Amino acid sequence: MAEPDNDRVSYYGIEDLSTWAENSPEKSRLERFESLPEAMAKFTEYREKETEEIKDFVKQRFEYQLKSSGLDDLSLYMDRFDALYEQGKMEHLMPTASQKHIVEDVPFTEWEIAPELEVHKQIQGEIR
């Protein structure tokens, strides 16, 4: 019988750690890597994805601001977006910490009530 290799080191990565920290029912996948370079490459991939998502968010806010200001032709401004973003001139449009975490707000009146709660509600109505 082979002895387990207790000296072997493994590296782990989770794309969205907040899903684990907040005990989300849809946790990001836990990935195991045999080497540090593999784990670092995956981490870099995660960071690049997050960076692109932030840039897209800022671009949408920039476009919204331009439309709200009443401009008819946005193309000149939107063509310059990448250069302005790279120069750091869009910092005021960057997402706050709370904006980086998307939460879907559903009004209480639109909640779907589980069937077992509906039955309980009907029984309570009959008792009154």
Q: What is the pLDDT of residues 31-77, one digit of tens each?
A: 999 988 998 999 888 888 888 888 988 999 999 988 888 888 888 88
Q: What proportions of the chain, in percent to the nearest 5, are helix, strand and coil?
A: 55, 5, 40
Q: Which of 34-43, 80-89, 115-124 has the lowest mean pLDDT?
A: 115-124
CA distances from 96 to 16, 46, 54, 102 (A): 17, 19, 10, 11
Q: What is the 3-state secondary structure (H, E, C) of 53-98?
A: HHHHHHHHHHHHHHHHCCCCCCHHHHHCHHHHHHCCCCHHHCCCHH
Q: What does the pLDDT read at residue 43?
A: 87
Residue 111 has pLDDT above 90, yes or no: no
pLDDT at 95: 81
What is the rounded end-to-end Cα distance, in angstroms, of the chain?
A: 69
pLDDT tier at 13, thresholds 50, 70, 90:
confident
Residue 81 binned pLDDT confidence (cut-offs 50, 70, 90) = very high
Range ranked top by mean pLDDT from 72-76, 106-110, 116-120? 72-76
* Type of residue numbered 105: D
CA–CA gap between residue 28 and residue 16 (Å, rounded) = 6
pTM passes above 0.75: no
Task: Give the whole-angstrom CA distance, residue 90 versus residue 87.
Answer: 8
Instruction: Pick 59 or 21 by higher pLDDT.
Output: 59
